[in-house]
Amino acid sequence: MLLLLLPPLLLWLLLVVPFTGPLGFWKNLGIQGPVGWPFFGNMMQFALGKKSYGEVYEGIYKEYPHLKYVGFYRLFNEPALLIRDQDLIRQILVGNHFANCSDNAVYVDPSRDTLASCNPFIACGDKWRLYRSDLVPLFTPSRLRQIVVAVNDSCQKLRLFLQNRSQFEAKELATRYTLQVVASGVFGLDSKCLESGEASARNPWLHWLLPLFQPSSWSLVETMALLHSPLLGKVLNYRYVPLSLQNWLQDLVLASSDGASLLHWLKEGKRTLPQSELTGHATTLLLEGYETSAMLLAFALYELACHEDIQDDLLRELDESGGAGLMGELRYTEAVLLETLRLHPAMQALQKRCTKSFELPAQMKDQGHCRPLEVREGTVLIIPVRAIHFDPELYPAPHQFQPQRFLAQSAQSMGCRFLGFGAGSRMCPGMRLGLLQTKAAVATLLKDQRVILADETQRKLEISPLTFLTSAKKGVWLRLVNRTGKC
């Protein structure tokens, strides 16, 4: 009998024990939090593709309302901290603790992902600050005024593209539009993404970029590699930017125009950039410029279709403005976009890695006998964006779409209650361009039309649990009708 039990016992020792040891880490330090499973930690529902990582973090956030932070376990039983307290979040993102955990915990191997490693969001150490300083001057008001030409031209193409279309998938349409803007604004090229027929079928921009961040059979394991495990990424030979796309982008930079484009202004910047970094920055401007704005536009149209009264207010503002003033006006339209980002943030959590140990105060809000916690180097700290945006103490009726939340104050003045663009020194440098091109598209599409759901079954939108950027599981199908209600 003992001989029969020996093989499964050895298998258990080899496979399970190495992944259970860390599960006592927080308990040994006197830190409260959920009990983890072997191997999966507290991410079982995420690993099985049943909940997004943001939903898992939201569940932990809600379970411990009395704590400033929670000790839990990520995949492979990695001890991590989920930060709940607004003051601590502020300290980590913009305050005294920022220098101790300024790196974002995403796993991109520079040897495989040469171009992605130049992204200020991905770069670590001293490099992120250097790369960000290259990009920030591109988004001044004077530079954006020059990009308005590309935005307006793309809006006209968008109107023509939608003629005689009874319905459309909002994310695909939005991606075509933002690719058109970014190709012109960044590279000085016409991507022809808003053309139909054979030209569309052969279009390399659409071939490479339309499916890049969409749910696929590999999305979940790629998200795990990106957010949880460099070892898994190595085993999979995972690349944030696929190698074939990297090669295409390198050729694209060489073919770009020297006109009034972001790439041209990069070449004229204070720092002389090696070709690899120039191509890396162009990749950042392309990928960050088209995908998150397309996502925002698609979800904003969806929310407007679901809330006719809010759409009425937005249409009234568009009519009164006469379509002008996209740079600084259309405050209600912008509030609609910000509220959309609150409900549908591009990234459902921010992950920070401690690079130098520091001390957090006692875990309990009522400190009592609790002691401060020394956060060790290498520890991942989770800022649960989705959970914060849905916290009823921060946003009354948090699941309701209420753009008026952003009329009384700007997104920046809301501090770390709103993290649609991040916060502090590592917040999105292209925020203004993203809002500009999205606002212009909304104004164009709804100039003399309304947006409605293509099918009432779309009213309850399912979010994919597989992708690291927020994505609709089955698309967002909409229709445009004229103001009298006819197609």
For residue range 390-431, what is the model confidence (pLDDT) as tens digits? Answer: 999 999 999 999 999 999 877 777 889 999 999 999 999 999
pLDDT digits (tens, 9 = 90+) for 267-297: 888 888 999 999 999 999 999 999 999 999 9
Q: Which domains does the chain have, with CATH numbers?
A: 115-347+423-447 (1.10.630.10)
Distance from chain centroid for Cα 472: 13
Q: Is 171's pLDDT higher than 90? A: yes
What pLDDT sits at residue 324? 54
Gyration radius of the chain's alpha carbons: 23
What whole-number distance in Å separates Cα of residue 75 and Cα of residue 19? 10
Residues 61-117: tens digit of each pLDDT: 999 999 999 999 999 999 999 999 999 999 999 999 999 999 999 999 999 999 999
pLDDT top residue among 261 and 117: 117
Q: Check residue 34 and give its pLDDT.
A: 96
Give the model's pLDDT for residue 368. 57
Do 276 and 416 form a contact (C-beta atoms < 8 A)? no
pLDDT(120) > 80: yes
Share of the chain above pLDDT 70, in %: 92
**With a threshold of 0.75, does the pTM exceed it?**
yes
* Rounded mean pLDDT, 321-349: 86
Of the listed ranges 44-53, 336-345, 424-433, the one predicted with least confidence: 424-433
Q: In whole angstroms, what separates CA 480 from the centre of its chain?
A: 27
Tell me: pLDDT of 487 over 50. no
Q: What is the pLDDT of residues 22-42, one digit of tens each?
A: 778 999 999 999 999 998 999
pLDDT of the residue at 11: 44
**Model pLDDT, residue 486:** 47
Let me know: does 53 contact 43? Beta carbons within 8 Å: yes
The more confident residue out of 253 and 57 is 57
Region 324-331 average pLDDT: 66
pLDDT at 8: 52
Q: How confident is the model at residue 323 (pLDDT cuts 50, 70, 90)?
A: low
Q: What is the pLDDT of residues 306-317, one digit of tens each?
A: 999 999 999 999
Token pair recorded at residue 133: 């300083």
Mean pLDDT of all residues in 214-222: 92
- Mean pLDDT of all residues in the chain? 90
Among 250-259, 336-345, 455-464, which is the least confidently predicted range? Answer: 250-259
What region does 228 belong to: left with phi over 0, alpha with psi -120 to 50, or beta? Answer: alpha
